[in-house]
């Protein structure tokens, strides 16, 4: 998943923006910005810096951002406590009724030392017991 996508994603359940991003692993891609793309790529929110564009003191690091892709991580909605796994570079943002509890619990168990305790104990729709 590209960091740039965070400028577009909102919680599918409550529509909160921006989602909080926790990155567990990423990979570097050999990619460069063209000269005309030197302006900020994100319009509202820079996930690479975890800040709104208007709050940054300098231009966002777009060159670094487009070279790094998130392989595994979690998207978290601070409004409704829902979390969404990022697996194999794909954010899995399904509604609660389409999610599989067994798969989500395995994901939480696998990454429990990297996932914030708030998600592990209070996350929706599933949490560790």
> What pTM does this model have?
0.91
The highest-level CATH class for domain 1-120 is mainly beta
Q: For the chain, which residues make up each domain, given as ranges?
A: 1-120
Cβ-contact 31, 67 below 8 angstroms: yes
Q: Which of 1-10, 27-36, 113-122 has the lowest mean pLDDT?
A: 27-36
Beta strands in the chain (DSSP E): 20-28, 45-46, 51-52, 68-76, 83-87, 90-91
d(CA 17, CA 45): 9
Instruction: Select the more confidently predicted residue: 120 or 32.
Output: 120
The single-letter DSSP state of residue 19 is P
pLDDT one-digit tens code per residue, 45-100: 999 999 999 999 888 888 888 889 999 999 999 999 999 999 999 999 999 999 99
Number of other CB atoms surrounding residue 106 within 10 Å = 12
Give the chain's length.
129
Contact predicate 89/70, CB 8 Å: yes
User: Residue 3 pLDDT more than 70?
Assistant: yes
Q: Are 75 and 93 in contact (CB under 8 A)?
A: yes
């Amino acid at each position: 998943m590209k960091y740039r996508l965070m400028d577009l994603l909102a919680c599918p359940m409550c529509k909160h923006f921006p989602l909080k991003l926790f990155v567990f692993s990423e990979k570097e891609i050999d990619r460069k910005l063209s000269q005309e793309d030197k302006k900020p790529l994100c319009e509202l929110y820079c996930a690479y810096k975890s800040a709104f564009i208007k709050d940054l003191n300098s231009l966002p690091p777009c060159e670094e951002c487009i070279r790094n892709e998130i392989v595994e991580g979690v998207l978290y909605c601070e409004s409704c406590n829902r979390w969404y796994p990022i697996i194999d570079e794909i954010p899995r943002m399904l509604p609660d009724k389409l999610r599989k509890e067994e798969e989500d619990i395995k994901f939480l168990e696998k990454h429990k030392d990297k996932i914030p305790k708030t998600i592990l104990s209070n996350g929706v729709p599933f949490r560790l017991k």
